[in-house]
Amino acid sequence: MIINQANLRNLFIGYRAAFQNAFAGVTPDFDQFVMSVPSTNSVEQYGWLGKSTAFREWIGDRVIQNLAVHDYSIKNKSFENTVGVSRESIEDDSYGLFTPLMGQLGQDAAEHPATLVYALLTGGFAQTCYDGQYFFDTDHPVTTLAGGEASVSNFQGGSGTPWFLLDTTRIMKPLILQKRKNYNFVTLDGEKDENVFMRKEYVYGVDARLNAGYGLWQLAYGSKETLDATAFNDAYAAMQGMKGDKDKILGIRPKLLVVPPSLRSQALEVVKAERNAAGATNINRDVVDVLVTPWLA
């Protein structure tokens, strides 16, 4: 290829198309339990998380419910992924060999949020959420009808491989994906750019600004117990029995069991098998969906 501005522009257009097509071809497996939030600042405040209200019969004036505001925020981070193509490769018409690489950049960009999301999920046993407690904890504080404080648990205990039961039916979700700037494909291919002038290398890269954080702990239940029918039933019942501030019934409906590949067979046996190990009808069959994800491996 003759190196000139028009040809380099066409090359960039082709590489960008490969990036975009691959990016669009990825459907993240976490969409059903992550709330995507647009961001306009470097840090977004989520003080309203955990606000719990209750309907009452309207007698007399409205009663304004004064709710505590939590100090919880998510700070955006910058991420990049960059590759270089030698000038000789372009001159020798070998540029087509790099098209799959640009497509891989697109796929990697689309899958990158998964690394943030699942790191949060597995880290929830030791990282705090909006109420100052670990996301998966035994003593999340809620107010009682008498004005005191009680503890609610969304952690079953144990010390084995973690698995997670999630309510995906709500507008709110267990986790938040905050996007300040979407993944953008850019290039440095000008003759006066240092990489071209000094190293005869055209640079193509992707950058984005985003981060992930914890949403409502009430919509997630974590366990490190052995995944069997007993542990699953206990976790399911615990979630459905959760109450919020002032003894409000939350109406939690677990719908998704998330497990690593190592727990695939146990998860399918618990909620997908027609019969249990004793040959009796499996009462938990299809009560929730199962997500086996490599991001928890």
How does pLDDT run across 118-174, given as a tens digit for each residue?
999 999 999 999 999 999 999 999 988 888 899 999 999 999 999 999 999 999 999
Is 181 among the domain residues? yes
Is 218 among the domain residues? yes
Instruction: Label residue 104 left, alpha or beta by phi (over 0 means left) and psi (-120 to 50 means alpha).
Output: alpha
Does pTM surpass 0.85?
Answer: yes
Is 170 among the domain residues? yes
Lowest mean pLDDT among 118-122, 150-154, 186-190, 205-209: 186-190
Which residue range(s) make up the domain with 248?
5-50+69-296
How does pLDDT run across 67-118, given as a tens digit for each residue?
555 668 899 999 999 999 888 887 776 677 889 999 999 999 999 999 999 9
Q: How many of the other CB atoms lie within 10 Å of CB of 218?
A: 22
Q: Is the pLDDT of residue 182 over 80?
A: yes
- Count of structural domains within the chain: 1
pLDDT > 90 in the chain, percent: 69
Please, which pLDDT band fits residue 52 given cuts at 50, 70 and 90? Answer: low
pLDDT > 70 in the chain, percent: 92
Q: Is the pLDDT of residue 56 over 80?
A: no
Is 56 among the domain residues? no
User: What is the predicted pLDDT for the residue at 251?
Assistant: 92
Is 63 among the domain residues? no
Per-residue burial over 100-109, b if 16 or more Cβ lie within 10 Å, else e, is eebbebbebb
Is 87 among the domain residues? yes
Is 141 among the domain residues? yes
- Report d(CA 32, CA 53) in Å as an integer: 25
**Short-list 247, 228, 287, 245, CA closest to 65:** 245
Check if the beta carbon of residue 118 is closer than 8 Å to that of residue 163. Answer: no
How does pLDDT run across 231-244, given as a tens digit for each residue?
999 999 999 999 98
